[in-house]
Amino acid sequence: MEATLGKGVLEGAIPPISPKSPQEVVESKLIPCEKCGETAAILIFADDAIDLGGFEDCARKMYHQYSDLNVSTWIIGPPVGDLNGAQTPTNTMKVWPQREPIKTITADEFNADLDAFVDMHCGQV
Per-chain mean pLDDT for the chain:
83
Nearest to 118 by CA among 66, 42, 65, 26: 42
Question: Rounded to two decimals, what is the model's pTM?
Answer: 0.77
Q: Is residue 14 situated within a structural domain? A: no
Report how far residue 96's alpha carbon sits from residue 67's, in angstroms, rounded to the nearest whole number. Answer: 7
Q: Which of 17-21, 36-40, 119-123 has the highest mean pLDDT?
A: 36-40
Q: Tally Cβ neighbours within 10 Å of residue 74.
A: 22
Q: Is residue 101 situated within a structural domain? A: yes
Q: Which residues of 29-41 are buried (b: 16+ CB within 10 A; e: fewer)?
A: eebebeeeeeebb
Q: Is residue 5 situated within a structural domain? A: no
- Cis? peptide before 89, omega within 30° of 0: no
Mean pLDDT over 27-53 rounds to 93
- Residue-range definition of the domain harbouring residue 39: 28-119
Q: Is residue 56 situated within a structural domain? A: yes
Q: Is residue 2 situated within a structural domain? A: no
Q: Is residue 40 situated within a structural domain? A: yes
Q: Is residue 55 situated within a structural domain? A: yes
- Domain total for the chain? 1
* Residue 112 pLDDT level (bands cut at 50, 70, 90): very high
Report how far residue 83's alpha carbon sits from residue 68's, in angstroms, rounded to the nearest whole number. Answer: 35
